A and B are shown apart, each in its own frame.
Chain A
Amino acid sequence: MAVETLTETPSLLPVFVKSALGGKKKGDSLPQTSYRLADQVVDRQHLQDYQRLCGFAADDTLPHTYPHILGFPLQMQLMSREDFPLPLVGLVHVENEITVRRRLTAEDVLDITVSAENLAPHPKGTTVQIVTVAEVSGEQVWEGRSTYLARGKGDPDAARGSMPDLPEVSPGQGAAIWSLPKDFGRQYAKISGDVNPIHMSGLTAKAMGFPAAIAHGMWTYARCVATLGPAASGPSSSHVWFKKPVLLPGKVELVVEPGDPTLLGLRKPVRSSADRVVEHLVLTVETR
């Protein structure tokens, strides 16, 4: 696989614009190119802004989900290539896995590499996995695997990975309720660089077919991981399945499996068991 080393983090707005205007994607193979950003020094101000917005301790440790942010522009660069078989705009982030091999700090200088794998049929379209690897001095310290779905003609017989059920918690018995303001998508976009129009405003989201702006899945993921405290920033792994988007403004309720803090879910707060349950995500986290 060819590695293309970038000298600076690509800017994402032009990537989105280019993709939105771009022609129809074709092909059934993935680009054999990976993108690499070497010697990434953590910007402490950026780290702190991320920690605060996601509920992590504002210390020197890189949160479980933080390197994803550093690799995200490379993901976009890769998926907006002309030979990338799926259209970038409209891709849905359906799953994400992260493995933290050792506790990372703001002192660590990271080399980030992003590549595409596993183009596969899905009952609702086609999925692809974008793999982000962070290395420190040649040692792999962090890996993220993001699964994106391009909705389209699916294969009803395609195998779906097994997804755990959300913890069964009675109405009103959630572990926490978080209120997300109307501009929350813009707040997270500022930090993550993910300026996808579906997050930026009600108007732009409606243009993309959503009833309102939606919260970034990666924020909901990070906020849930943050509830596990410092342990999840050490050697650990997690797997999240994104279900229904969180509409902004809105409230979400954290539910935790009784007796097992490693299985978490996020749902729309319900008053009674008669209410329709909207499930946003389910997440498993293993710490060592």
Chain B
Amino acid sequence: MASPQPDQTRRAAILGGNRIPFARQFGPYAQASNQDMLTAAIEGLVARYNLGGQRLGEVVAGAVIKHSRDFNLTRESVLGSSLDPHTPAYDIQQACGTGLEAAILVSNKIKLGQAESGIAGGVDTSSDAPITVSEKLRTKLLKVNRAKGAGAQLKALGAIRPTDLGIETPANSEPRTGLSMGEHMAQTAKRWGITREAQDELAVASHRGLARSYDEGFQDDLVTSFKGLARDQNLRPDSSMEKLAKLKPAFGKGDDATMTAGNSTPLTDGASVVLLGSEEYAAEHGLTVQAYFVDGETAAVDYVHGEEGLLMAPAYAVPRLLARNGLTLQDFDYYEIHEAFAATVLSTLKAWEDEDFCKDKLGLDAPLGSIDRDKLNVNGSSLAAGHPFAATGGRIVAALAKMLHEKGPGSRGLISICAAGGQGVVAILEGA
């Protein structure tokens, strides 16, 4: 089936990015709200690319864990920034795929000529999390609120029992399975035979890559310090196999459990944004096109019935994206596979190498094959930087665009991000 071609499309350019360093839960950003962090990330971008007073086409961002008061999170951040207040904004939420999905949406509007410029991003806090009362109490309190007259209200209040009291904080678990993301991943890791050693190796490489990128100054125009933090707090430049080997398994059961706190991402706080625009917009504003946002794809798997692992959807999204763009898995200079867990990356790579999986599950004639591991997460990924859910996409898009620009025109990068709910968001960027 041929996809319908819009009458006319143009290229969407990535012009730069900005993020605040990611902080560990209850670290320096313990009291920073999503609003504070997203505004700071936008304001840093505005300062870096001289966007003060400019009316952009739109700003699209979101947070996975959100207070109900933040219903208009992104628009409020625009109003708190130096952007022209006539810049519209909206929120999206696609779990850990939020940031990359936002970039797909903005770039699509630019491609269609519906927008000249835009910002895509995301933010998440695991520290300043919303607290809700128990469902029973919530229902009864709403009843009190509805009751007319003091007598009726008192009666409704009287229905509240001591056992109704209690608070709930958002949990990193799947509503339908009750399993945490780590437990889900442990099942998948076991299925693909991912070893502890391979996971720890990936974690060490991530820390070393990110540390090197900071030392080389690569992050200088991608990160703006916030609340006294200048680098990602989770980064351990001296990470080693010996140190990681000492950690006890955190997810999975039994002697063969492999996933530890060292090869899983910790809960973190942070925000990131990316500036996108048409080539005309870039030229008018004297901005350098770093890369083009070529295409994006999403996929979802049925993890509820055990048919597939929770975080395996990108394994399905990538072949569809490759086919649509006439590319093979080997046609890339860089691969950015989000390290939700080291095992996620390794299971995905293993799946693409597996003949049965590629035939039976992906419906391909042959496996997608292996990738050159030297091209994978070159400047570190989420294991080192941390992973404030919705902020990861923006971090990756901005960094990859810069890497591709340095590599030169025509260079290619692949982004793969898994998300809760059995979803995956993937994209192709091309260097300019």
A-to-B contact residues, CB < 8 Å = 44, 48, 57-60, 106-107, 229-231
When the two chains form the complex, which single residue of B43, B225, B227, B228 contacts A57, counting CB atoms closer than 8 Å? B43
B-to-A contact residues, CB < 8 Å = 31-33, 36, 39-40, 43, 52, 79-82, 225-228
Distance between Cα atoms of A229 and B226 in the complex (Å): 18
Which residues of A lie under 8 Å from residue B43 when comparing CB positions? 57, 59, 230
Contact in complex: A229, B36 (CB < 8 Å): no
When the two chains form the complex, which single residue of B33, B52, B81, B228 contacts A44, counting CB atoms closer than 8 Å? B228
Name 13 A/B residue pairs within 8 A (Cβ), A-sorted: A44-B227, A48-B31, A57-B36, A57-B39, A58-B31, A58-B36, A59-B43, A60-B226, A106-B227, A229-B81, A230-B43, A230-B80, A231-B82
- Which of A44, A57, A59: most chain B Cβ within 10 A? A59
Known contacts A57-B40, A59-B36, A59-B43; decide if A230 and B82 are in contact (CB<8 Å): yes
The list of the 9 closest CB pairs from A to B, nearest first, reads A58-B36, A230-B82, A59-B40, A57-B80, A57-B39, A230-B43, A60-B226, A44-B228, A231-B82
Which residues of B lie under 8 Å from residue A229 when comparing CB positions? 79-82
- Chain B's closest residue to A49 (CB) is B31
Q: Write the nearest CB–CB distance from B28 to chain A, whole angstroms.
A: 8
Supplied contacts A58-B31, A58-B36, A231-B82, 17 more A-B pairs, CB within 8 Å: A44-B227, A44-B228, A48-B31, A57-B36, A57-B39, A57-B40, A57-B80, A59-B39, A59-B226, A60-B228, A106-B227, A229-B79, A229-B81, A230-B80, A230-B81, A230-B82, A231-B52
- Chain B's closest residue to A58 (CB) is B36
Distance between Cα atoms of A262 and B225 in the complex (Å): 30
Distance between Cα atoms of A44 and B30 in the complex (Å): 12
- Chain B's closest residue to A42 (CB) is B228
Which residues of A lie under 8 Å from residue B79 when comparing CB positions? 229
Q: Write the nearest CB–CB distance from B25 to chain A, whole angstroms.
A: 18
Distance between Cα atoms of A89 and B33 in the complex (Å): 40
- Chain A's closest residue to B85 (CB) is A229
Contact in complex: B32, A58 (CB < 8 Å): yes
Distance between Cα atoms of A231 and B83 in the complex (Å): 10
Contact in complex: A106, B81 (CB < 8 Å): no
Distance between Cα atoms of A44 and B36 in the complex (Å): 14
Distance between Cα atoms of A231 and B43 in the complex (Å): 11
Which residues of A lie under 8 Å from residue B40 when comparing CB positions? 57, 59-60
Which residues of A lie under 8 Å from residue B36 when comparing CB positions? 57-59
Which residues of A lie under 8 Å from residue B31 when comparing CB positions? 48, 58
Which residues of A lie under 8 Å from residue B81 when comparing CB positions? 229-230
Which residues of B lie under 8 Å from residue A44 when comparing CB positions? 227-228
Distance between Cα atoms of A59 and B227 in the complex (Å): 7
Q: Write the nearest CB–CB distance from A271 to chain B, whole angstroms.
A: 27
Contact in complex: B225, A58 (CB < 8 Å): no
Which residues of A lie under 8 Å from residue B82 when comparing CB positions? 229-231
Which residues of A lie under 8 Å from residue B32 when comparing CB positions? 58
Q: Write the nearest CB–CB distance from B386 to chain A, whole angstroms.
A: 19
Which residues of B lie under 8 Å from residue A106 when comparing CB positions? 227-228
Distance between Cα atoms of A118 and B362 in the complex (Å): 82
Q: Write the nearest CB–CB distance from B21 to chain A, whole angstroms.
A: 12
Which residues of B lie under 8 Å from residue A230 when comparing CB positions? 43, 80-82
- Chain B's closest residue to A55 (CB) is B80
Contact in complex: B80, A60 (CB < 8 Å): no
Q: Write the nearest CB–CB distance from B96 to chain A, whole angstroms.
A: 25
Distance between Cα atoms of A44 and B226 in the complex (Å): 11
Distance between Cα atoms of A229 and B80 in the complex (Å): 6
Q: Write the nearest CB–CB distance from A61 to chain B, whole angstroms.
A: 8
Which residues of B lie under 8 Å from residue A107 when comparing CB positions? 228
Q: Write the nearest CB–CB distance from B226 to chain A, whole angstroms.
A: 6
Q: Write the nearest CB–CB distance from B157 to chain A, whole angstroms.
A: 24
Distance between Cα atoms of A230 and B33 in the complex (Å): 18
Q: Write the nearest CB–CB distance from B201 to chain A, whole angstroms.
A: 37
Which residues of A lie under 8 Å from residue B228 when comparing CB positions? 44, 60, 106-107
- Chain A's closest residue to B39 (CB) is A57
Distance between Cα atoms of A229 and B76 in the complex (Å): 12
Distance between Cα atoms of A230 and B79 in the complex (Å): 10
Contact in complex: A58, B226 (CB < 8 Å): no
Contact in complex: A60, B225 (CB < 8 Å): yes
Q: Write the nearest CB–CB distance from B55 to chain A, whole angstroms.
A: 15
Which residues of A lie under 8 Å from residue B80 when comparing CB positions? 57, 229-230
Contact in complex: B227, A60 (CB < 8 Å): yes
